[in-house]
């Protein structure tokens, strides 16, 4: 493979990078066909599943509740996440050399960080929604009003857009003059920091701050919400009530566990302890597998959603 990158000479001692090479899974050529099939299948399922969720929630009045409103936002984030990663990964698997322009790399980084941090923050909001629904059912309508839900959703998108803009903007200020091979199948913060030949102190500090907020504080708030929920379920006298409440929360807990564990493994140490192989594996979990499973875990097991789906399908056949 040709690892030589196109650069534009600025001076005798400095160059401006115009292309990176994504290593992808080139170190495992025997798995290329298998990974192509897996990624294509998962992307198709993720795209179709999350589009179905958006269509169902927007077209079915019975699903116009805070829980499904937030699920619609989650589905949009999952589509953004997979679409920013998988198409380029599939191109890399099908071609001998997989290059990405500097601007393309920054765009991919922006949308990936935006969708990833948005999902972490939204999971906290969804945990609060379940807390109010189960622990304070009589006040649910007043506490989770449409205006508040809209404000929470806008806050999630806006805060995370600012966060992504900061990280992307800081990344564009770095100089890249050493090896230009990104040991990953997409552009992410840790791999790019390892390639920089200029000081990365500010970038690393902001990454740690973001980790502390999105990964730390939100994780604690989510645990507190579900701790109160579980305690409230255990106090219920009705066995049927316990079963229904736990069934709703178990889906959320599964997704929270998978998503947080993969993100922690991938981003908690952006410095010298970074492992490319580990990062690729964990990145597949949160950027590919989680968006594929979310529609199944959150909604397709739900009777209300299945009913809305049966009503929607005849409308397409007519």
Extents of the domains making up the chain? 20-303
Q: Percent of the chain, pLDDT > 70?
A: 86
pLDDT of residue 81: 93
The span from the CA of 218 to the CA of 20, in Å, is 34
Per-residue pLDDT averaged across 156-164, rounded? 96
Per-residue pLDDT averaged across 191-215, rounded? 89
Residues 6+ apart with CB under 8 A from 85: 108, 112, 185, 186, 283, 287, 288
- Give this prediction's pTM: 0.86
The pLDDT of residue 238 is above 50: yes
Q: Helix (H, G, I), strand (E, B), or coil: what is residue 18?
A: coil
Residues 275-290: tens digit of each pLDDT: 667 778 778 888 888 8
pLDDT of residue 2: 37
The span from the CA of 152 to the CA of 294, in Å, is 20
**Higher-pLDDT residue of 263, 43:** 43
Q: Tell how strand 181-182 and strand 19-22 pair up.
A: parallel
Per-residue pLDDT averaged across 18-28, rounded? 82
Average pLDDT over all residues of the chain: 83
The pLDDT of residue 270 is above 60: no
pLDDT of residue 273: 57
Q: How confident is the model at residue 61 (pLDDT cuts 50, 70, 90)?
A: confident
Name the most confidently modeled range: 139-143, 253-257, 284-288.
139-143
CA distances in angstroms from 168 to 13, 87, 158, 206, listed in the order given = 25, 21, 15, 11
Per-residue pLDDT averaged across 126-145, rounded? 89
CA distances in angstroms from 67 to 62, 73, 130, 138, 184, listed in the order given = 12, 10, 8, 16, 35
**Higher-pLDDT residue of 232, 298:** 232
Residues 299-309: tens digit of each pLDDT: 666 777 777 77
The pLDDT of residue 46 is above 90: yes
The pLDDT of residue 259 is above 90: no
pLDDT of residue 11: 40
pLDDT of residue 144: 92
CB neighbour class for 316 (10 Å; exposed up to 12, middle 13-18, buried from 19): exposed
CA distances in angstroms from 260 to 112, 117, 124, 162, 252, listed in the order given = 15, 11, 11, 21, 12
Per-residue pLDDT averaged across 117-122, rounded? 93
Q: Helix (H, G, I), strand (E, B), or coil: what is residue 198?
A: coil
- Count of CB atoms within 10 A of residue 280's CB? 19
pLDDT of residue 10: 37
Phi and psi for 294 in degrees, rounded to 5? -55, -45
Give the CA radius of gyration of the chain: 21
Report the CATH number of the 20-303 domain. 1.20.1070.10
Residues 62-101: tens digit of each pLDDT: 788 898 899 999 999 999 999 999 999 998 888 877 889 9
The pLDDT of residue 147 is above 90: yes
Residues 6+ apart with CB under 8 A from 41: none
CB hemisphere CA count around 261 (13 angstroms) = 10
**Higher-pLDDT residue of 266, 202:** 202
């Amino acid at each position: 493979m040709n690892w030589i990158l196109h650069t534009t000479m600025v001076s005798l001692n400095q160059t401006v990078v115009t292309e990176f090479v994504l290593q992808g899974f080139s170190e495992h050529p025997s798995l290329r066909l298998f990974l192509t099939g897996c990624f294509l299948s998962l992307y198709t399922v993720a795209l179709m599943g999350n589009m179905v969720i958006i269509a169902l929630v927007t077209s079915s009045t019975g699903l116009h509740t805070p829980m499904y409103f937030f699920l619609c936002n989650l589905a949009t984030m999952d589509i953004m996440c997979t679409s920013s990663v998988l198409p380029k990964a599939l191109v890399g698997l099908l071609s001998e050399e997989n290059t990405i322009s500097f601007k393309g790399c920054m765009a991919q980084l922006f949308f990936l960080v935006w969708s990833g941090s948005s999902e972490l923050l939204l999971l906290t909001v969804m945990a609060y929604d379940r807390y109010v629904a189960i622990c304070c059912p009589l006040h649910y309508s007043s506490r989770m009003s449409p205006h508040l839900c809209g404000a929470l959703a806008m806050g999630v998108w806006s805060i995370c857009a600012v966060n992504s803009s900061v990280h992307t903007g800081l990344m564009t200020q770095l100089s890249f003059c050493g090896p230009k091979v990104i040991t990953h199948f997409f552009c992410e913060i840790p791999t790019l920091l390892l390639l920089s030949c200029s000081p990365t102190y500010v970038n690393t500090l902001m990454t740690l701050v973001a980790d502390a907020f999105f990964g730390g504080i939100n994780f604690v708030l989510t645990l507190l919400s579900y701790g109160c929920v579980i305690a409230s379920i255990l106090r219920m006298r009705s066995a049927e009530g316990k079963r229904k409440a736990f069934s709703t929360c178990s889906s959320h807990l599964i997704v929270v566990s998978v998503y947080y564990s993969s993100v922690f493994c991938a981003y908690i140490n952006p410095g010298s302890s970074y492992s490319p192989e580990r990062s690729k594996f964990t990145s597949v979990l949160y950027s590919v597998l989680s968006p594929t499973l979310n529609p199944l875990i959150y909604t397709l097991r739900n009777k209300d959603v299945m009913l809305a789906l049966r009503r929607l399908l005849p409308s397409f056949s007519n």
